[in-house]
Amino acid sequence: MEFESVIGLEVHAELLTKTKIYCGCTTEFGGKANTHVCPICLGLPGSLPQLNKQVVELGIKAGLALNCEITKVGRMDRKNYFYPDCPKNYQITQDELPLCRNGYIDIELESGEIKRIGIERIHIEEDAGKLLHTKRGTLVDFNRAGVPLIEVVSKPDIRTSEEATLYLTKLKSILSSCKVSDCKMEEGSLRCDANISIREKGTEPFGIRSEIKNMNSFKAVEKALHYEFERQVKAVTAGEKLTVETRRWDETNNETTVMRSKEEANDYRYFPEGDLVTLNISDEWIENVRKTIPELPHEKEARFIKEYELPKYDAHVLTLTDSMAEFFDEAAKLSKDPKAASNWIMGDLSRLMNVEGTWVEDLKFAPNGIAELIEVIKDGTISSAIGKQVLEAMFESGKLPKAIIEEKGLKQNNDEGAILEIVNKVLDENPQVIEQYKSGKTRILGFAVGQVMKATKGQANPGIVNQLVEQEVAKR
């Protein structure tokens, strides 16, 4: 029997607002424990929440960027549960009337096929505080309580752990380029839970699902889903009966373990939040938010392929971050040679940044530096080999190519007479070149060219060197 996974993902993303969702406390990450708090986010008796308008705005923005319908008359609800990090003993969230519904993300599978993953809903809600388990016992920090979140719930359209990673990567790139969330997984501003069940391939009904929590990276999601698929297949094949469970991903032992089973499941007793008014969202507001959505990474990728005729691979790599995409975009426009700009940026420049552990944001020169580099190579001022040296110097000092070439005397030598002299000197000193060439080993010419380039510190025009070496060897 062949099985497949049925996976749905729930992603929580902290929104990039300055203040919390129902009070004016700061949302800044960190800070001394329990200093970003007030009676409202501590849930003190008599305090009243007020909905932060920017939270709704960012929620709408996320919805539009993810192709959702916006719910025009919405509502906030209470989700009742007791847990020490939830000071009110309920969370104000959205139940039946989420802000956004019926969206989708298109992912590109390895085969090149485009697959559409549905988005069931996006709702806005508040984050909980944080528990700190110490030797002295468990402490609670409410700085995070009330930080605004969106929860993006996918439809169960995902079939493999690889598809899950593709979906998450795309979701993250859309949310961060829209500035809805900074999506920093290491700071917990992007978190993912997964529902997974298995079924025999070709059948419709879903199996018994388990929910996996505590996955702190995309890699962890992929590994946990893979593990859980294998576990369920093994159990079903062995004739065991699965139960609905919440399981935790254990990073150290690379396995999922049971947190709770269905018998212990909560009944949240949702009901409308009486302290907040109905959400009325006008068409005008939605249209105004739509105008603030920038060109999204996958739209940029498509434009780079169409407008700049870049290979798909280049376009993809260059749009992985907004800063990289913008840098390339400008270098391509200024140089009028997008492929050359792409080669320099993806090749030597990326290598230099990797070695130093820096980002495009840290570069000491602007995209016009790349354009100028392309220009001086094209007009023959320097060879592309020298171009690499120039780029290194640009990376170090932030100076522009022409200034560096002048300063270091790197101008290409196009003087045929002078190069001819060196060619003959090299041939005189290396009689084996002629011998081998005459015995049919024509590859030896490469060696001679290399020697001439070395003698000129790489500054001789390689085209001229090639031509003169061939010419002189033929004469001898």
Residues 8-47 that bind Zn ion (CB under 5 A): 23, 25, 38, 40-41
Q: Which is nearer to Zn ion, 23 or 473 (CB)?
A: 23
Which lies closer to Zn ion via its Cβ, residue 38 or residue 302? Answer: 38
User: What is the separation of C-alpha 138 from the centre of its chain, rounded to a whole number of angstroms?
Assistant: 35
Continuous segment of H or E residues that includes residue 107:
strand 100-108
Judged by CB under 5 A, the number of residues near Zn ion is 5
What is the spatial distance between Cα 116 and Cα 227, in angstroms, rounded to a whole number? 24
Task: Please say which residue, 40 or 70, places its beta carbon nearer to Zn ion.
Answer: 40
CB of 49 to Zn ion, least distance (A): 9
| Least distance from Zn ion to the Cβ atom of residue 43, Å | 10
Among the listed residues 417, 467, 429, the one whose alpha carbon sits nearest the alpha carbon of residue 445: 467
Q: Are 460 and 413 in contact (CB under 8 A)?
A: yes
**Pick 41 or 99: Cβ nearer Zn ion:** 41
Residue 155 Cβ vs Zn ion, minimum distance, rounded to whole Å: 35
Instruction: Provide CB contacts within 8 A for 19, sequence distance 6+.
Output: 25, 26, 27, 52
393, 428, 456, 462 from 424: Cα distances, Å = 33, 6, 13, 16
Task: State the Cα–Cα distance between residues 223 and 228, nearest whole angstrom.
Answer: 9
Distance CA(65)–CA(296), nearest Å, equals 8
Of 55 and 225, CB closest to Zn ion = 55
Amino acid of residue 355: V
Smallest distance from Zn ion to CB 40, Å: 5
For Zn ion, the closer CB: 37 or 168? 37
Taking the complex as a whole, how short is the minimal distance between the CB of residue 16 and Zn ion, in angstroms?
A: 18
Task: Give 390-404 as a DSSP string.
Answer: HHHHHHHH---HHHH
Per-residue burial over 381-407, b if 16 or more Cβ lie within 10 Å, else e, is: bbbbebbbbbbebbbeeebbbeebbee
The strand pairing partners of 7, in sequence order, are 158, 196
- Chain positions 268 to 327 lying near Zn ion, rule: CB under 5 A, are none
68 binds Zn ion (CB under 5 A): no
Alpha helices in 291-379 (DSSP H): 297-307, 312-318, 322-335, 338-344, 350-356, 367-378
Q: Which is nearer to Zn ion, 44 or 132 (CB)?
A: 44
Residue 63 C-beta: closest distance to Zn ion, Å: 26
70-89 binders of Zn ion (CB under 5 A)? none
Q: Between 38 and 346, whose beta carbon lies closer to Zn ion?
A: 38
State in angstroms the smallest separation of the CB of 47 from Zn ion. Answer: 9
* Distance separating alpha carbons of residues 230 and 204, to the nearest angstrom: 20
CB of 95 to Zn ion, least distance (A): 23
**At closest approach, how far in Å is the CB of 26 from Zn ion?**
9
Q: Given the complex with Zn ion, which of 41 and 400 has the nearer CB atom?
A: 41
Q: Collect contacts of 356-360 with beta carbons under 8 A, ≥24 apart.
A: 356/395, 359/321, 359/323, 360/321, 360/323, 360/324, 360/327
Q: How far is the CB of 17 from Zn ion (least distance, A)?
A: 13
SS3 state of residue 157: coil
Task: Please tell me the distance from the alpha carbon of residue 215 to that of residue 196, in angstroms, as a whole number.
Answer: 14
CA distance 472 to 293: 63
In the bound state with Zn ion, the residue whose beta carbon lies nearer, of 40 and 124, is 40
Interface residues with Zn ion (CB under 5 A) are 23, 25, 38, 40-41
